[in-house]
Protein backbone atom coordinates (compact mmCIF):
# COMPACT_ATOMS: atom_id res chain seq x y z
CA UNK A 1 0.00 0.00 0.00
CA UNK A 2 1.29 3.43 -0.95
CA UNK A 3 1.76 6.25 1.56
CA UNK A 4 1.05 4.49 4.82
CA UNK A 5 2.42 7.53 6.63
CA UNK A 6 -0.32 9.78 5.23
CA UNK A 7 -2.97 7.18 5.97
CA UNK A 8 -1.71 6.89 9.55
CA UNK A 9 -1.90 10.67 9.94
CA UNK A 10 -5.51 10.59 8.76
CA UNK A 11 -6.33 7.77 11.21
CA UNK A 12 -4.72 9.75 14.04
CA UNK A 13 -7.08 12.63 13.25
CA UNK A 14 -10.05 10.25 13.38
CA UNK A 15 -8.87 8.81 16.70
CA UNK A 16 -8.38 12.28 18.19
CA UNK A 17 -11.83 13.37 17.06
CA UNK A 18 -13.37 10.24 18.55
CA UNK A 19 -11.44 10.75 21.78
CA UNK A 20 -12.80 14.29 22.06
CA UNK A 21 -16.29 12.87 21.58
CA UNK A 22 -15.70 10.35 24.38
CA UNK A 23 -14.51 13.03 26.80
CA UNK A 24 -17.43 15.27 25.92
CA UNK A 25 -19.94 12.46 26.47
CA UNK A 26 -18.32 11.55 29.78
CA UNK A 27 -19.19 14.98 31.27
CA UNK A 28 -22.91 14.19 31.38
CA UNK A 29 -22.72 10.41 31.39
CA UNK A 30 -25.33 8.49 33.37
CA UNK A 31 -25.22 4.81 34.41
CA UNK A 32 -28.69 4.47 32.85
CA UNK A 33 -26.96 4.50 29.44
CA UNK A 34 -25.09 1.27 30.20
CA UNK A 35 -26.13 -2.13 28.85
CA UNK A 36 -24.82 -5.50 30.01
CA UNK A 37 -23.46 -7.69 27.20
CA UNK A 38 -22.36 -10.46 29.57
CA UNK A 39 -20.77 -11.00 32.96
CA UNK A 40 -18.80 -7.81 33.73
CA UNK A 41 -18.97 -6.93 30.02
CA UNK A 42 -20.58 -3.56 29.40
CA UNK A 43 -21.47 -1.29 26.49
CA UNK A 44 -23.17 2.06 26.18
CA UNK A 45 -24.59 4.23 23.45
CA UNK A 46 -21.27 6.11 23.60
CA UNK A 47 -19.34 2.99 22.46
CA UNK A 48 -21.73 2.39 19.58
CA UNK A 49 -21.91 6.02 18.45
CA UNK A 50 -18.13 6.33 18.60
CA UNK A 51 -17.73 3.19 16.51
CA UNK A 52 -20.20 4.45 13.90
CA UNK A 53 -18.22 7.69 13.62
CA UNK A 54 -14.96 5.77 13.17
CA UNK A 55 -16.38 3.34 10.63
CA UNK A 56 -17.90 6.15 8.55
CA UNK A 57 -14.60 8.05 8.51
CA UNK A 58 -12.48 4.99 7.73
CA UNK A 59 -14.74 3.99 4.85
CA UNK A 60 -13.98 7.34 3.24
CA UNK A 61 -10.25 6.65 3.57
CA UNK A 62 -10.27 3.07 2.29
CA UNK A 63 -13.62 2.05 0.78
CA UNK A 64 -12.42 -1.47 -0.11
CA UNK A 65 -11.58 -2.47 3.48
CA UNK A 66 -13.65 -4.62 5.82
CA UNK A 67 -13.99 -4.25 9.57
CA UNK A 68 -13.36 -6.23 12.73
CA UNK A 69 -15.11 -3.96 15.20
CA UNK A 70 -15.98 -4.65 18.83
CA UNK A 71 -19.55 -3.39 18.73
CA UNK A 72 -20.34 -5.00 15.37
CA UNK A 73 -21.46 -1.87 13.54
CA UNK A 74 -19.47 -3.12 10.52
CA UNK A 75 -18.05 -6.49 9.53
CA UNK A 76 -15.62 -8.09 7.09
CA UNK A 77 -16.14 -10.65 4.33
CA UNK A 78 -12.75 -11.81 3.07
CA UNK A 79 -11.44 -8.36 2.12
CA UNK A 80 -7.66 -8.07 1.79
CA UNK A 81 -7.60 -5.04 4.09
CA UNK A 82 -9.44 -5.01 7.41
CA UNK A 83 -9.73 -2.26 9.98
CA UNK A 84 -9.62 -3.54 13.57
CA UNK A 85 -11.49 -1.07 15.75
CA UNK A 86 -12.13 -0.60 19.45
CA UNK A 87 -13.98 2.70 19.84
CA UNK A 88 -13.61 2.67 23.62
CA UNK A 89 -11.01 0.39 25.17
CA UNK A 90 -11.58 0.67 28.89
CA UNK A 91 -15.37 0.90 28.95
CA UNK A 92 -15.57 0.03 32.66
CA UNK A 93 -13.10 2.84 33.42
CA UNK A 94 -15.20 5.21 31.30
CA UNK A 95 -18.41 4.26 33.08
CA UNK A 96 -16.83 5.09 36.43
CA UNK A 97 -15.10 8.27 35.25
CA UNK A 98 -11.67 6.74 35.64
CA UNK A 99 -8.67 7.05 33.30
CA UNK A 100 -7.34 5.61 31.09
CA UNK A 101 -9.64 4.81 28.22
CA UNK A 102 -8.58 4.78 24.62
CA UNK A 103 -9.51 4.60 20.96
CA UNK A 104 -7.68 1.79 19.17
CA UNK A 105 -7.54 1.50 15.37
CA UNK A 106 -5.39 -0.89 13.34
CA UNK A 107 -5.23 -1.85 9.67
CA UNK A 108 -4.44 -5.40 8.63
CA UNK A 109 -3.20 -6.50 5.21
CA UNK A 110 -4.13 -10.16 5.28
CA UNK A 111 -2.70 -11.45 8.55
CA UNK A 112 -0.22 -8.59 9.00
CA UNK A 113 -0.90 -5.41 10.95
CA UNK A 114 0.47 -2.51 8.89
CA UNK A 115 -0.87 0.51 10.78
CA UNK A 116 -1.69 1.13 14.42
CA UNK A 117 -3.08 4.09 16.36
CA UNK A 118 -3.92 4.23 20.08
CA UNK A 119 -5.35 7.49 21.40
CA UNK A 120 -5.57 7.73 25.17
CA UNK A 121 -8.41 10.21 25.45
CA UNK A 122 -8.01 11.61 28.96
CA UNK A 123 -4.30 12.45 28.59
CA UNK A 124 -4.67 13.46 24.94
CA UNK A 125 -1.83 11.13 23.93
CA UNK A 126 -1.77 9.70 20.41
CA UNK A 127 0.56 6.72 19.93
CA UNK A 128 1.07 5.50 16.37
CA UNK A 129 3.22 3.57 13.93
CA UNK A 130 3.03 2.02 10.49
CA UNK A 131 4.88 -0.79 8.76
CA UNK A 132 8.54 0.11 8.47
CA UNK A 133 8.30 3.26 10.61
CA UNK A 134 9.49 4.29 14.02
CA UNK A 135 6.88 4.61 16.79
CA UNK A 136 5.58 8.02 17.82
CA UNK A 137 3.69 9.81 20.58
CA UNK A 138 2.16 13.14 19.55
CA UNK A 139 4.81 13.58 16.86
CA UNK A 140 7.78 12.61 19.03
CA UNK A 141 9.68 9.36 18.43
CA UNK A 142 9.39 6.87 21.28
CA UNK A 143 11.16 3.65 22.21
CA UNK A 144 10.92 0.91 24.78
CA UNK A 145 12.92 1.05 28.00
CA UNK A 146 16.47 -0.28 28.35
CA UNK A 147 15.83 -2.31 31.53
CA UNK A 148 17.43 -5.76 31.29
CA UNK A 149 15.88 -7.82 34.13
CA UNK A 150 12.39 -8.64 35.38
CA UNK A 151 13.59 -7.72 38.86
CA UNK A 152 14.03 -4.09 37.76
CA UNK A 153 10.83 -3.97 35.70
CA UNK A 154 7.43 -2.40 36.21
CA UNK A 155 4.82 -4.79 34.84
CA UNK A 156 1.29 -4.15 33.57
CA UNK A 157 -1.43 -6.76 33.41
CA UNK A 158 -5.16 -7.12 33.04
CA UNK A 159 -7.52 -9.02 35.30
CA UNK A 160 -10.00 -11.32 33.55
CA UNK A 161 -13.54 -9.93 33.50
CA UNK A 162 -15.50 -13.09 32.75
CA UNK A 163 -13.20 -15.91 31.60
CA UNK A 164 -11.99 -17.36 34.88
CA UNK A 165 -10.82 -20.75 33.59
CA UNK A 166 -7.17 -19.84 34.13
CA UNK A 167 -7.66 -17.69 37.20
CA UNK A 168 -5.66 -19.87 39.60
CA UNK A 169 -2.68 -20.01 37.25
CA UNK A 170 -2.98 -16.30 36.65
CA UNK A 171 -3.02 -15.51 40.38
CA UNK A 172 0.10 -17.61 40.91
CA UNK A 173 1.89 -15.69 38.15
CA UNK A 174 0.72 -12.44 39.70
CA UNK A 175 2.11 -13.47 43.07
CA UNK A 176 5.46 -14.28 41.48
CA UNK A 177 5.76 -10.92 39.74
CA UNK A 178 4.55 -8.97 42.76
CA UNK A 179 7.40 -10.45 44.78
CA UNK A 180 10.10 -10.28 42.10
CA UNK A 181 9.65 -7.02 40.20
CA UNK A 182 9.37 -3.32 40.94
CA UNK A 183 5.59 -3.59 40.94
CA UNK A 184 2.40 -4.46 39.10
CA UNK A 185 -0.10 -2.11 37.47
CA UNK A 186 -3.61 -2.83 36.26
CA UNK A 187 -4.83 0.11 34.16
CA UNK A 188 -8.00 -1.36 32.67
CA UNK A 189 -7.15 -0.74 29.00
CA UNK A 190 -4.99 -3.24 27.12
CA UNK A 191 -4.44 -0.81 24.26
CA UNK A 192 -3.03 1.72 26.72
CA UNK A 193 -0.90 -0.94 28.42
CA UNK A 194 0.73 -1.75 25.09
CA UNK A 195 1.28 1.92 24.31
CA UNK A 196 3.00 2.32 27.67
CA UNK A 197 5.34 -0.58 26.90
CA UNK A 198 6.16 1.14 23.62
CA UNK A 199 7.13 4.43 25.27
CA UNK A 200 9.04 2.85 28.15
CA UNK A 201 6.66 3.57 31.04
CA UNK A 202 6.38 -0.15 31.79
CA UNK A 203 8.71 -2.94 30.75
CA UNK A 204 6.13 -5.67 30.14
CA UNK A 205 2.44 -6.42 29.79
CA UNK A 206 0.65 -9.77 29.75
CA UNK A 207 -2.99 -10.82 29.75
CA UNK A 208 -5.29 -13.59 28.56
CA UNK A 209 -8.87 -13.48 27.21
CA UNK A 210 -8.00 -10.62 24.87
CA UNK A 211 -9.68 -9.77 21.57
CA UNK A 212 -8.14 -8.53 18.29
CA UNK A 213 -9.46 -4.98 18.77
CA UNK A 214 -7.73 -4.83 22.18
CA UNK A 215 -4.24 -5.57 20.87
CA UNK A 216 -3.85 -5.16 17.09
CA UNK A 217 -2.86 -1.48 17.09
CA UNK A 218 -0.79 -1.54 20.27
CA UNK A 219 1.17 -4.63 19.31
CA UNK A 220 2.45 -2.96 16.13
CA UNK A 221 3.40 0.19 18.04
CA UNK A 222 5.40 -1.91 20.52
CA UNK A 223 7.22 -3.72 17.71
CA UNK A 224 8.09 -0.49 15.90
CA UNK A 225 9.31 0.99 19.18
CA UNK A 226 11.84 -1.85 19.51
CA UNK A 227 9.85 -4.18 21.73
CA UNK A 228 8.68 -7.76 21.29
CA UNK A 229 5.21 -9.29 21.25
CA UNK A 230 4.25 -12.96 21.37
CA UNK A 231 1.61 -15.32 22.63
CA UNK A 232 2.18 -17.25 25.85
CA UNK A 233 4.10 -19.94 23.93
CA UNK A 234 6.45 -17.47 22.27
CA UNK A 235 4.64 -17.72 18.94
CA UNK A 236 2.92 -15.08 16.83
CA UNK A 237 -0.73 -15.99 17.50
CA UNK A 238 -1.40 -12.97 19.69
CA UNK A 239 -3.88 -11.02 17.55
CA UNK A 240 -6.52 -13.76 17.44
CA UNK A 241 -5.14 -16.19 20.04
CA UNK A 242 -6.57 -14.34 23.05
CA UNK A 243 -3.27 -14.20 24.95
CA UNK A 244 -0.36 -11.81 24.72
CA UNK A 245 3.04 -11.07 26.22
CA UNK A 246 4.65 -7.76 25.32
CA UNK A 247 8.04 -6.53 26.57
CA UNK A 248 10.88 -4.13 25.89
CA UNK A 249 12.65 -7.08 24.15
CA UNK A 250 15.54 -7.09 26.65
CA UNK A 251 13.55 -9.07 29.21
CA UNK A 252 11.36 -11.01 26.79
CA UNK A 253 12.92 -14.44 27.17
CA UNK A 254 13.07 -14.19 30.96
CA UNK A 255 9.55 -12.80 31.25
CA UNK A 256 8.03 -15.23 28.75
CA UNK A 257 9.70 -18.17 30.49
CA UNK A 258 8.02 -17.18 33.75
CA UNK A 259 4.60 -16.75 32.10
CA UNK A 260 4.97 -20.09 30.31
CA UNK A 261 5.75 -21.83 33.61
CA UNK A 262 2.33 -20.85 34.96
CA UNK A 263 0.19 -21.17 31.83
The mean per-residue pLDDT over the stretch 114-122 comes to 98
Average pLDDT, the chain: 94
What integer is the mean pLDDT of 95-113? 97
Residue 257's SS3 state is helix
For the stretch 43-59, what's the b/e string if a residue is b when 16 or more beta carbons lie within 10 angstroms of its beta carbon?
A: bbebbbbbbebbbebbe
Question: Any idea which architecture 4-142 has in CATH?
Answer: 2-Layer Sandwich (3.30)
Peptide bond into 62 cis (omega under 30): no
Q: Which percentage of the chain shows pLDDT scores above 70? A: 98
> Range(s) for CATH 3.40.190.80 in the chain?
150-262
Q: Stretch 196-208: mean pLDDT, rounded?
A: 98
pTM of the predicted structure, to 2 decimals: 0.95
Distance of CA 259 to the CA centre of its chain: 20
Q: Which residues contact 259 (CB under 8 A, 6 or more apart)?
A: 173, 206, 232, 245
| CA dist., res. 150 & res. 144, Å (int) | 14
Paired strand residues for 118: 104, 127
List pLDDT tens digits, range 222-237. Answer: 999 999 999 999 999 9
Residue among 163, 168, 190, 184 at smallest CA distance from 84:
190
| Three-state DSSP state, 132 | coil
Q: Could you give the residue range(s) of every CATH 3.30.540.10 domain in the chain? A: 4-142
DSSP assigned state of 133: S
3-state SS of 202-250?
A: CCEEEEECCCHHHHHHHHHHHHHCCCEEECCCCCCCCCCCCEEEEECCC
DSSP assignment of 44-92 = EHHHHHHHHHHHHHHHHH-TT-EEEETT-SS--SS-SEEEEEEEEETHH
3-class secondary structure for 142-158?
Answer: ECCCCCCCHHHCEEEEC
Measured CA to CA in angstroms, residue 156 lies from 191, 228, 246 at distances of: 11, 15, 10
- Burial class of residue 23 (count of CB atoms within 10 Å of its CB; 0-12, 13-18, 19+): middle
Alpha carbons within 13 A on the beta-carbon side of 53: 21
Element housing 183 (H / E): strand 183-185
Indicate whether 37 pLDDT > 70: no
Which fold is adopted by the domain 150-262?
A: D-Maltodextrin-Binding Protein; domain 2 (3.40.190)
- Whether residue 133 contacts residue 225, with contact meaning beta carbons closer than 8 Å, is answered with no
pLDDT at 250: 98
Radius of gyration of the chain (CA): 17
- pLDDT bin (cut points 50, 70, 90) of residue 39 is low
Amino acid sequence: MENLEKLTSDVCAIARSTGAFLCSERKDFSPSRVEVKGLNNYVSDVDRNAERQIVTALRRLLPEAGFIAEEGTATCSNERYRWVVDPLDGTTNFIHGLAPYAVSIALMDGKEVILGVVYEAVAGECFYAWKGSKAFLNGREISVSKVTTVENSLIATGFPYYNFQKIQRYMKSLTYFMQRSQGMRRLGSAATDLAYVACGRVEAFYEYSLQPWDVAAGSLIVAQAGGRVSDFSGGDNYIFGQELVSTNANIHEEFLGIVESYF
